[in-house]
Structures are given as structure tokens and as C-alpha cells.
Structure 1
Amino acid sequence: MTSKKPAEALIDGLVVSRETIDKLKQYQALLEKWNRSINLVARSTIQDAWERHILDSAQLMLPARAGEHWLDIGSGAGFPGLVCAIISAETHPDRKFTLLEADQRKTEFLRSVSRETSTPVTVIAERIERQASLGADIISARALAPLKHLLAHVDRHGAPGATALLLKGRTHRDEVEEALAQWRFQTQIRPSRTQEDAVVLEISEVERAE
């Protein structure tokens, strides 16, 4: 009979092992170290990185119920994709993660975190619009572009039935209205667990408007 690993609630509704918490803490330490020489995140947020970046990203695991291939576009410092990859290594070990980021220095950081935390991810150093379609089941992004532009990337890189999980701020309703001029889609708006006036947009059935 095997003993259970100690577990802890990362956020309300998401319980992970102490080992996963430790990997996320290791990620945070690497972020603080690398951010001294590479502009990964705003320096004003580095002291609150656990909540502002890691927990903010982790909340995407709640609506991400299914999907074998997760694509994170414009990954930057790995938020939200690399956080979700670390958690998924425990909760969805068969899920494949691809991180798409054009900046070479940031891709080196992503690969370093992947190695140090023993988290398998594929890191691609390429612009989103130049990358051939990746056929992902889940597509995530954070602080990347207006929704109307993000939907073009979702349309390009999503497999049939793909879902987009997008972290957005207080202008999300205006972005949805603007996007409807060019796109047809279904959306669920979920209040952020970590930031007031922020939301998670869960978007599916994306197609160009006629």
C-alpha cells in the first residue's frame, strides 16, 4: 500500500502535491534570478510574483478539463503556459505542452525552467503568425494582444473543437464586442481568482464572420 503525497490547495478548487508546490517555488526563484538581467516581468511585480504571476496562471487549470495538446502563445516568462505545464505533470501527465515565444532570450529562460523543474515542454522560438499550424486542443495567452487578434491565432493553431483560455483585464467586454465584428465564437466569462476586475475568457467554436 503506497502512502499519499502531502497535498495543498494552490487556489480554491485546485489541490496539488507538495512536490508540485516546490517546483513552482523553484520556478519563482529562477524568475527572480533571471529577471535581474532579462526583462521577463515588470520589476514592480517581482515581489508579488507568486500571486501576480504564478497563481494568476494556475487558475486556468480549473476550466481546462480536457485536451491532449496545450499551446501557450507569446509565452514570455512562461505565464500561463509553463505554470500549467508544471501542474499538469501531476494532474494530466499525458498532456503535451508547446510554448511559442519569438524572443530568443526568453526561450532560453523557458528551457532552463523546464530542465530545472524536470517539466517536459516543447519550446519554439518563432513568431506566432509565421509558425505552421500546431493543431492544439487548448490555447492559452496572457497580456499578449486584443481579443480580435488572439482569435486569429486560435483559428490558425487550434484543432477542431479547440478551446482558448485567455486571461484578460477590465476591458474584456469591449474586446469581446470589438471581436464580434470579425469573428463568431462562444464564450464563458469567469471572474479571476487573483485579480479584481480581471477575468478568464473561455472561448470555443471560433470561426470568421462572413
Structure 2
Amino acid sequence: MNEQLVNGPVSRETLQKLRIYCDLIRRWNPRINLVAASTIDDLWSRHIEDSMQIVGLAPSTPAHWVDLGSGGGLPGVVCAIMLQELAPSCHFTLVESDKRKAAFLATCKHELALNMTVKSERAERLEPQRADVVTARALAPLPALLPLVARHMADDAVALLPKGKNHAAELEAARAEWQFTLASHVSQTDNLARILALRDIKRV
């Protein structure tokens, strides 16, 4: 596993927890398919680093961070590990309707002592969370994702949404029904991908 870090150095404790998390994914993945089997050998670069870079785009001291459709905890668990030292009071809520994946996330919370709640519910049915950071990775195209994201954002919140090479088309489609303030950041792990930072999301 190549543990080069796109965000610069992290503490020994944080790195150790990220390694433990990788081991948990490898142990559970054959049973519940947390990540594509074709990417398991590149787990660090394809998934861990890709999630770590989101922390650098978030407010420095968030209070409540919600990750929608968390799946195997990408980026939610990775960000929670990173913020244990950077913003220890930040509480994470990971939303995952698949009961088996939610059980995996609960194991991560216990094994890694994370400041985190796991909600095994659908994002559209969960009571509004009023979070100041909302993330979602590989959950849905932007037009379908924005209603879920906007539901759980506080008034001054930011949504940090990793998107692949089709990000421009997704943005164009979303603007037919939504208005928002956008900052688009080139991914540090894929120069065709972007992390979209959206604020003030409102239906047109």
C-alpha cells in the first residue's frame, strides 16, 4: 500500500487509524462489497487519499458533519479520523440505509473511537440534520443529489461533493432546477475529477 499523502503529513496516531480502517475494509469487503473489488489493491490512492483531500476544503472547526450514503465510510470515516485531532469536538453523522454497511460503520466507530453516529435510514426520510458540512461520494448524479444535500444543510453550510469526469454535465443539468454558489476544485487524485463546494442551495 502506497501511503503517500496528498494533504501533507499527518500524525502517527492518525496514520495508524487510517491503516486500521483499511484493514477493516479488506476484512469485510468479500462479504458486503464496500468498495469495488478491482480497486482493493489501490485502496489507499483510490479511496483514502481521495477522501482525505476533502478535509482541506471544509471549515477549520466544523461542529456537525453529515455524510450521506456513506457505504463503506468514504469519505465519512476518513474525515472523522482526520478531524479527531484537527477538530475533536466535531460530531459526524453517517447516513447509510443498507443495514450490513451500517453495521460495518458501527464497527469502525467502535474500533477507532470516533465521534460519530450511524443512522441506518434513507437520507430523504431522516429528520433534517442542520449540519455545517454535508458530503456525499458516488451516491447519485447532482440533480438527484441536491434535494438530499439541501435537506440536511444549515443556512451557512457547505456541501463538498466529489464528482468524476462528467461533473460539467451534472452541473448543467442541476442548474435547470437549482441555484447555488459554486467553487470547483480539481481533485488531487484525478485531474479529470472535481470536488464541488456548494453553498446557498435553493430550488429555482
Q: Report if TM-score (shorter chain) is over 0.5.
A: yes
* Structure 2 match to 1:134: 129
CA distance in 2, matches of 1:80, 1:104: 18
CA distance in 1, matches of 2:37, 2:113: 27
4+ aligned runs moved over 3 Å, structure 1: none
Residue 120 of structure 1: which of 115, 118, 130 is its match?
115
Q: Is the 8 A contact 2:90 2:115 kept in 1?
A: no
Residue 56 of structure 1: which of 47, 50, 54 is its match?
50
CA distance in 2, matches of 1:46, 1:114: 21
* Structure 1 match to 2:15: 21
* Structure 1 match to 2:88: 93
* Structure 1 match to 2:170: 175
- What is the 5 A alignment of 1:1-210? 10-12=5-7, 14-66=8-60, 67-209=62-204
* Structure ID, larger Rg: 1
Determine what percentage of the aligned residue pairs are the same residue. Answer: 47
Gaps of 5+ in 2: none
Quick one: which amino acid aligns to residue 30 of structure 2? R
Other structure's SS at 2:144 match: helix
Cα displacement string for residues 140-162 of structure 1 (whole angstroms, at most 9, x for unaligned residues): 01011011121111221111111
Number of residue pairs matched?
Answer: 201
Cα displacement string for residues 30-71 of structure 1 (whole angstroms, at most 9, x for unaligned residues): 100000111111100001001111110000011102421100
Other structure's SS at 2:32 match: coil
CA distance in 2, matches of 1:44, 1:9: 20
Q: Is the 8 A contact 1:101 1:124 kept in 2?
A: yes
Q: CA deviation at 1:120?
A: 2.0
Q: Is the 8 A contact 2:47 2:74 kept in 1?
A: yes
Gaps of 5+ in 1: 1-7
Other structure's SS at 1:129 match: coil
Q: CA deviation at 1:77?
A: 0.2
Quick one: which amino acid aligns to residue 176 of structure 1? L
Quick one: which amino acid aligns to residue 56 of structure 2? L
CA distance in 2, matches of 1:17, 1:10: 12
Quick one: which amino acid aligns to residue 123 of structure 1? V
CA distance in 2, matches of 1:178, 1:22: 41
CA distance in 2, matches of 1:9, 1:85: 19
RMSD: 1.3
Q: CA deviation at 1:164?
A: 0.3
Q: Is the 8 A contact 1:74 1:102 kept in 2?
A: yes
CA distance in 1, matches of 2:70, 2:149: 14
Quick one: which amino acid aligns to residue 26 of structure 2? E
